[in-house]
Amino acid sequence: MRKIITFRLSAMGDVLLTVPAIQGVIQANPDLEITLVTQKIYAPFFNGIPRVRLLFPEFKGRHKGIIGLLKLYADLKKEGPFEAVIDLHGVIRTRIIGFLFKKTGTPVFSIDKGRKEKNFLIKSKYIRFLKHATERYLDTFTRAGFRGQIGKAPYLIVNEDSNLKVNIFLDKLGINRSKLKIGLAPFAAYQSKIWGIQNFRDLVTQINEQHNVEFFLFGGGKIEIDQLNDFQLFSPNLHLVAGELELSEELALVKILDFMISMDSSNMHLSALSAIPTVSIWGGTHPAIGFFALGQPTAYHLQTPVSSLRCRPCSVFGNKPCIFPTPRCMEMVKPLDVYDKLIEFNLLKA
């Protein structure tokens, strides 16, 4: 069995987008085993993929600091020998470990993140679709000599235990399975990518007036969960998921949704990779940069046209402060417009 080692440590959305590439390489190379170094929390994403071994570094313990990285390198060497190192992250930690592998004769292949192309798009506002992040991951394997291709969703495999726990969760809530089930993921890493709870309230009101629906609220972290708890009180058919289910169980719940409404966030990728219709709302960032919802129609990416607001997109990741008190690109996307699009896409029946 041939063996290679691959690194992608964070963030959640980025780790998710490695799944189609890793699946494609595994399927095309039946004699290959991939050792993936990532965070333990992300293990459910790789459930059911054959010949993928997961290793979890302890950056707050044994592998902390420079000495810790040397220990991590030593620990990883014991798992080999490896034909190649595939660095899908390209950060200081992975570069140091890659350097150590290279010094001992193992070739290292690092991702080309396309920074120049992305920065040119941001500065010029000349919108053309760049390579998707998943394609960039696959390209890294290809340069190392491992063929593969990106298949069709769903890419995420849910175990039976998680399905069982989700059914218990839904029974506890008294959910009627015949109702339309809509996921709502109102948050993202940066303010320029957040549409706002008030807009979601207005959208929920609009949908409730015409449709019999159960909504499920996705998010993460204490601040988001606190806000979602308040949002849940707005309507009896809003149900909190964040903080209530393990990640593997959230995957199982996403799989039974009729569709998801999300920001440019990890929940968008979670839904899209599960082959669930995913309508995403974009502000400071732009799907053309390479992080659009894989496999989803281009029209499902709702946004203020660049021709209507020449300051967008303002950054690759949404981490640049807005020149306005609140992101105008998000203000220009109205709840009624989103509702009308849901009707147009036939996700809601007129």
Given CATH 3.40.50.720, say whether it is the number of domain 2-143: no
Domain ranges in the chain are 2-143, 160-344
Q: Which residues of 280-293 are buried (b: 16+ CB within 10 A; e: fewer)?
A: bbbbbbbbbbbbbb
- Rounded Cα distance between 345 and 9, Å, is 36
Closest CA to 266 of 208, 310, 317: 317
Backbone angles phi, psi at 88, to 5 degrees: -90, 5
pLDDT of 208: 97
Choose among 14, 58, 10: nearest CA to 273: 14
Q: Evaluate if pTM is beyond 0.75.
A: yes
Segment-wise mean pLDDT, segments of 10 residues, the chain, 350 residues: 97 97 98 98 98 97 96 96 98 97 97 97 96 98 97 96 97 94 97 97 97 96 94 97 96 98 98 98 98 98 94 96 93 97 94
Non-local CB neighbours of 249 within 8 Å, separated by 6+ positions? 162, 165, 166, 169
Task: Mention the CATH class of domain 160-344.
Answer: alpha beta
| Cα separation, 59 vs 79, whole angstroms | 19
- With vertex at residue 286, the alpha carbon angle to CA 248 and CA 93, rounded to the nearest 5 degrees, is 55
Helix (H, G, I), strand (E, B) or coil at 350: coil
Q: What's residue 349's pLDDT? A: 85
Could you tell me the two tokens for 27? 């399927």
Domain 2-143 shares a fold with domain 160-344:
yes
Q: Output the pLDDT for position 303.
A: 97
